[in-house]
Amino acid sequence: MKILITENKRYQLAYKILDNVLEGLTREDYDLNADTDSVFSNHQILFDDKSGKTVMRYTEKYDRLEVTDDIWEPLRMFSFSSQELESVIHWWFKDRIRIEPDIVYLVGYYD
């Protein structure tokens, strides 16, 4: 059976899946320079699943969001390319976490 969905609905469904995944994650914020004499912040946010595995990491120093396949794999059913996945995750992270990463890196993604 083939189901056709609009492009807008495809993105809405992806956001819904990402929201559901986010609900099951624990957020931890760190400043890696907190124990040093540095005046510069090196803020890092880790998102861990229930088993303690880090599935998403934002690093302020590199303005980079690393996302493991635990996050992006459920979105593959929508036939997103790697660039589309990066874009969807970028806009979702910006909207939900209120941080706009410069780079989204899909850990373990191979075309």
pLDDT in tens, 42-67: 789 999 999 999 999 999 889 999 99
pLDDT at 84: 92
In this structure, the strands spanning 54-59 and 64-67 are antiparallel
pLDDT at 5: 76
Domain map (residue ranges) of the chain: 7-106
Q: What percent of the chain has pLDDT over 70?
A: 89
pTM of the full structure = 0.83
Q: If residue 21 lies in a helix (H) or strand (E), which one and from where to where?
A: helix 7-23
Q: Among residues 41, 89, 88, 90, which one has the least CA distance to residue 62?
A: 41
pLDDT at 4: 72
pLDDT at 8: 83
Collect the ranges in the chain with pLDDT lower than 70.
32-41, 110-111
Q: How far is CA 68 from CA 29, 33, 48, 62, 64, in A?
A: 18, 25, 11, 17, 13
Q: Beta partners for 54?
A: 48
